[in-house]
Structure 1
């Protein structure tokens, strides 16, 4: 019996450089894309894309026959982002910028725009749309973008990244974003990204004990968030705020602050009346309501008030 051969490996860098030279290179290419609003022409190699990505395998496979348009038009995908995807598929690495991963306000470009917007591609056959599952999008995204996002996370980026994490079910990224906001709460609450969060993305923040911000500031931030949402959705502020305001810990406010909030609430309804009544109840009983203990618990950034000694122990 012939002994097994020994696998030897060549240098990685020259191999990667050689493959990178084929990215958007018309030499030997057999598939062409028209990408972005500028309709930039991008060349690629069908066999390489197909063996590296299930989506391309289904889109470009020979069994698709005439159903695959030539060129493949991807009008909603930014060219820079698409080229980053190709670079990763060809070389297993990519040089990314924020625009490449779609964290500059483009609602369809993260995860990688090609897969994040596949259901909107006007020329994608229905059979291909059905085969591109959300799991594939998450896996592809984690390969290409998550490490980059975590490394460049900052105050201006973090709320947009949190929204992406919640939308696409990226649990590890969501945890990183929440932890970052907990440590930089006041700055993050002042960003445009915070105002544009969806209710499901805002909820894990309002449920956190570790936010470094006082409850009075959090109430103001929630009102600003609801006003923006009301303007965009053309719905009442109270209706937009309903899914999240119950996480506000009104019992932490001093009586004078609670009275001022109650008066403002009459002018611009934001918080259900019964929620304010519950906060007053905590003051009257001089103890936290055991049934709603979390809403009487101080956060890391809660400023001390005289009545807090009657509530739960301070945050540790």
Structure 2
């Protein structure tokens, strides 16, 4: 009888946990910028934000915002469902409550997400190949917009978020995240603005840079930039991962080179991880499945009530 009662109490605790009111999403249509074209912004405020009026929160800025929360606006009708995962991990005290800012992309996505200063390291062949190789993703032939895009985030969007919401504005509490080209621009952001971003999460980083993934020579331009501009490991943390199917199959060799670079720059398991996900493809569903591990790395709670996080099958650090 005592054992049955214990089980019932545990079941009630779980039901109570999952029946908590969820956070809310605030949408801003066509957020204006003097640097890049306007775009939608969605801000997820965690459960308790409206009632815990003295609490301040870390912030996670995410690329490809239409894919972050809502399956109806996402590509292939599959979203990361970042709010659902964050709510679950917060409820079991695995992570700190966090504000998530989803930045929608535009038809200039490729040029906005391209790490602009890497182009300064193009060799002659890169300069000749780039316009032809990117014509489908840059049909209007616009110039590089990576630096302008980061100005938009750091000079316009982040100040707005910090003013309108109870954030922890310091770098240690400000993270940036993306997948594929979104991972590149997130890594570029922590290199260009180490005083603003203390953490970056880069999923399925598109190291090959060009849409034609097997062609990889141009990746050396970004690796050279990265070696020269990686922020200090003393106060920055970086998450990498990749799968082994579709586009992700081309990333392993590049990621291993970057991992060696991270070690040479003084990064350790305290402030950096790289995870390999066997059998996972370059799709939102894969990123959705492992987003819990991203949040756990970025915003791990020190709460003693924390329960064991469910882990996807991964290999050891590559």
The normalised TM-score by structure 2 is 0.27
Structure with higher RCO (Cα < 8 A, 6+ apart): 2
The normalised TM-score by structure 1 is 0.27
Structure (1 or 2) with the greater strand fraction = 2
